[in-house]
A and B are shown apart, each in its own frame.
Chain A
């Protein structure tokens, strides 16, 4: 079961990666690439899975990973990799960033990357400076989420869509911001009044959060509550959290779901038929490209920012629901994409 899921994740990321420019692989000896994962496990069908798939897909490295049960595991996991002689250590997740930075400062010869954070050294007052051997891999996820929000607002029959997050990290709320603003943009264009439950960019404190990336029961409860309030499209932002909900909704047909990070069509075991789209974040591709840089001795600490332009973020095909999405809506979404790229549509206001 686990094996097949992993395989699916690999296939998924391979198809995604093809669209991304990756530095040419060098013929040098393979580097040792080590992934310190976030909580949620390697089989979260999403965040960690995407990172691990990207690492495995890298032809210039031998990859391994360590999962974290709690955030107390971050530091010892990284230390283990330092002791094992890893050449590139990737911290997967915003929360692990401070530990990556600490380790990077203590081991200037090892290269580091951190997904979802700039990987800067911040003091108690949050004055931050860059660290030469840490590369931050961040994503303007709200660009793609904006498109998904517009799509959802155009697809909803009840006039209500919903979103909730795992923990209120900026990297989670950016999905929700984009989603809510995309829906608001639809309302402005069409004079409709589609409501977004669970998130209001102007009042983030009142946003709906599960409180972890592992409590699937609570996530399912939240999803069902949203369904009862009339939401017929739900975006859970939190890796594996949304999986039981997707499976339940496939049976109840009460709502469509939007997946995050890696295309859920290839990674979800149940829920494909109600999967509207995925807000894709090319975590795997970004890791693969850093590995290539390290192997070619071209590593730099310059931050990588995934956008619609460099295809670091995107929305996935509609797959099974392709026929249900009106052609007019599809062309509007394409227009929005071009507008965001051109800067005529602002996703952060």
Chain B
């Protein structure tokens, strides 16, 4: 028990410190971009006081927007105060799935930048089944989600196959496939079968009631069943990687493709199947977003879920559990940023700065180690992907 706690602390040390540093720097930016704070520059004591107040207020608002806000309980039960937490989870849900997609690829030594495109195909598949067919409750959700995941698995699988057959680099392939996907959705939303009646702009009809993921906490909350799908996917990825032969093969190829090949593992098979599963995971993210939260497909359905996924997977050290926590943290930043903007006027965009700083520090572990005088961990524990963080 004690040993595993120590291991856990060891694992979150670098990401945790990276986050801390990102928050510290963001705080500085919040302070110096506040005109009221700068006005007090001539009196150092007042200046520091107002700077700290500005940072404190901003982060308090961030917390209120992401976890619990006592102001929301007026006229409601105390449970209503947790509305922000439910928003955090809603935003985190697709991010967990796309994050897992990138994390799993890391484990097999692949860098999947294509979660964005895979997400789009998942959303397209789920949306079409959702609004076009009338099926019984339960079955409808299942079919819609599976079709979405299947579309995305094919989309991801193409990359795997191309890499396995021709040796083309998956980073280039996935970036290009993202472009194709984002233009594909522009086109398909203009086709007759996806146009919403009465509208000429690119937005699909809402999915039928029977295809919507059940809400978990009543109509006032957007919290839906999708979070369980995301958590189940995390368990699945953990199980796949640690308890199955195929998962072992994934990790073996990730650790050393040449050695794995010599040991009789089919590297092309591993690459293709990894990319298919990665695609399915990201596609499930798109399906969950459409069936659980937006209910309809539009051109910006993917937002930045696919790209944030890379940060999330890095922050989560490419571990399923870590990815879940990292996605929740990002969800919290996004949900909290809204309140920070509306309560304190600190722009929502500052959250992007924090996210970028996190990536920066995580990608430069030596720098973080240097700042905090940490000895280098043993190399095998910190492997996420070749050329990344190794």
Give me the interface of A with B, judged by CB distance under 8 Å.
Answer: 34, 39, 64, 66-67, 69-73, 75-77, 80-81, 83-84, 94-95, 122, 124-126, 167-170, 173, 204-205, 211-212
Contacts and interface: CB of A to CB of B under 8 A. Distances in A.
B83 interface: yes
B190 to A, nearest CB: 7
Given A84-B342, A94-B201, A170-B200, A69 B303 contact: yes
A39 B298 CA distance: 13
B299 interface: yes
A168 B300 contact: no
A34 B341 CA distance: 12
A71 B298 CA distance: 8
Interface of B: 71-72, 83, 87, 183, 186, 190, 196-203, 205-206, 222, 289, 293-294, 298-301, 303-304, 335, 338-339, 341-342, 345, 347-348
Contacts of A84: 342
B201 A76 contact: no
Contacts of B183: 211
Given A66-B341, A70-B303, A83-B83, A76 B222 contact: yes
Contact of A126 (B198, B299, B300): B198
12 contacts: A67-B348, A70-B301, A72-B294, A73-B338, A76-B335, A80-B338, A81-B342, A122-B198, A124-B197, A124-B205, A211-B183, A212-B300
A205 B339 contact: no
A66 B338 contact: yes
Nearest to B345: A64
A211 B222 contact: no
Contacts of B199: 126
A126 B197 contact: yes
B356 to A, nearest CB: 15
B293 A72 contact: yes
B355 to A, nearest CB: 12
Nearest to A122: B198
Given A211-B299, A212-B300, A64 B342 contact: yes
B300 A71 contact: yes
A227 B186 CA distance: 24
A170 B201 contact: yes
Contacts of B298: 71, 95
A169 B299 CA distance: 12
Contacts of A170: 200-201
A69 B202 contact: no
A7 to B, nearest CB: 13
B87 A70 contact: no
Contact of B289 (A72, A75, A95): A72
Contacts of B299: 167, 211-212
B222 A75 contact: yes
Given A64-B342, A66-B342, A204 B300 contact: no
B197 A205 contact: no
Contacts of B294: 71-72
Closest 5 CB pairs of A and B: A126-B198, A70-B303, A70-B300, A169-B201, A211-B186
Contacts of A94: 201
Given A69-B304, A72-B289, A80 B201 contact: no
Contacts of A75: 222
A70 B335 CA distance: 13
Contacts of A80: 338-339, 342
Nearest to A77: B338
A172 to B, nearest CB: 8
Given A71-B300, A205-B190, 12 more contacts: A67-B347, A69-B303, A70-B304, A72-B301, A73-B338, A76-B335, A76-B338, A94-B201, A95-B203, A170-B201, A211-B186, A212-B300
Contacts of B222: 75-76
A72 B293 CA distance: 8
Nearest to A83: B72
B201 A168 contact: yes
Nearest to A204: B200
Contacts of A211: 183, 186, 202, 299
B340 to A, nearest CB: 11
B189 to A, nearest CB: 9
B202 A168 contact: yes
Most buried by B among A39, A67, A81, A167: A167
A95 B203 CA distance: 9
Contacts of B205: 124
Most buried by A among B201, B299, B338, B345: B201
Contacts of B196: 126
A25 to B, nearest CB: 25
Given A80-B338, A83-B72, A167 B303 contact: no
